[in-house]
Structure 1
């Protein structure tokens, strides 16, 4: 194409992919990673599962990093797959930066909480593994995020999530007479961390709302 002399062609900036594509690719990659790790664990005779959260043990602190990536078999991983895909994808729609920060808070704070209370109700040593603590954190985040931000879309999303997944919240109810099996401690700590993450990461919206309210107050005579 011929251009008039003295004029340069300004290159168009590349279009960013839609948020739903980025979010979908991100969460699909994460779940795929879980399956790859489980395959390695199966081939190694479940040697990776020893790296879970072992409460109140110094070495067990490393489990905070590794536990959400480990599962006690294909059935355990399959049970977590659909909730992880759905809730994780919805989390990415809050913004990728927010998704990363929320996941980090839930991962670390929820994991540390599990390390502290993971042996409650059980006289034996326990080893907590699985992405369910992270999933409970995402669930709790989505349930309260809309109320903190006052965004209609996220309020509706929270209500839908409650209707679809609200029943699983029973998995966060303490069962002091039960040892082994489901980690209610991990679920509970993940959910609490999710609420904390939602409150902290909704700060910009809450501050903007407060400024808006203060701007509507009538002025006082000086």
Structure 2
């Protein structure tokens, strides 16, 4: 006999769709709240972003995704963030936050190292690229064949919708846009597709 809160396989009960998608929605809502408060207060929060080659600026790795230079900047990130974030969250809340952490940390470190000294980076685009990298690379990660077929279909759709803009966000970007955050965010998301897959498959 199984416990009410456990599946027949002995694992934790599956999350509802509402619980899965709550994380990307709440994280996006936090970005909008921060931008609203930033617009109302006389001081700007963008100074707390990731400042390259400044040891004190490393704290911006965790803060900069919540900060945006303008409403237009936030709006441009919002739709792809929500779409790609929900595609990651399909696999559960824990997976979503794991991918988010990989994209933020690896994207932040890469940006801190390779951007011009003193350059300030803010925005959620590194996370967007991380979610893109994850949805593409999870096709190649260990897992059930049925899941990998589904992920392949999703990856084709995602590439057709966002592949061109993602490439443009790394190659030939105009001044003021951090290709480093885009590139290393995507690398972080891609790595997250493989980390923990072995233990998850055994469990």
Normalising to structure 1: TM-score of the pair?
Answer: 0.77
CA distance in 1, matches of 2:171, 2:118: 17
Give 3-state SS (helix, strand or coil) of 1:72's partner.
Answer: coil
Gaps of 5+ in 2: 7-12
- The equivalent of 1:198 in structure 2 is 193
Structure having greater relative contact order (Cα 8 Å, sep ≥ 6): 2
CA distance in 1, matches of 2:43, 2:192: 32
Q: 1:204 to 1:13 in 2, by over 3 A?
A: closer
- The equivalent of 2:103 in structure 1 is 106
Is it true that 1:91 corresponds to 2:88 in the alignment? yes
| Offset at residue 190 of structure 1 (A) | 0.3
Is it true that 1:160 corresponds to 2:157 in the alignment? yes
TM-superposition CA deviations, 1:86-121 (whole Å, max 9, x none): 1111111122211111111111121111111122xx
TM-superposition CA deviations, 1:65-100 (whole Å, max 9, x none): 110000011110000111111111111112221111
Out of 125, 137, 154, which is 1:132 matched to? 125
| Offset at residue 13 of structure 1 (A) | 6.0
- The equivalent of 1:79 in structure 2 is 76
Alignment root-mean-square deviation, CA: 2.5
CA distance in 2, matches of 1:144, 1:190: 13
TM-superposition CA deviations, 1:7-44 (whole Å, max 9, x none): xxxxx769x78532112222221111111000111122
Task: Report if the CA contact (8 A) 2:23-2:93 is conserved.
Answer: no
Give 3-state SS (helix, strand or coil) of 1:199's partner.
Answer: coil
Matches within 5 A, 1:7-156: 19-45=16-42, 47-119=44-116, 125-149=118-142, 150=145, 151-156=148-153
CA distance in 1, matches of 2:109, 2:89: 24
Normalising to structure 2: TM-score of the pair?
Answer: 0.84
CA distance in 2, matches of 1:38, 1:52: 13
Choose 1 or 2 for highest CA Rg: 1
CA distance in 2, matches of 1:85, 1:132: 12
Task: Report if the CA contact (8 A) 1:102-1:201 is conserved.
Answer: no
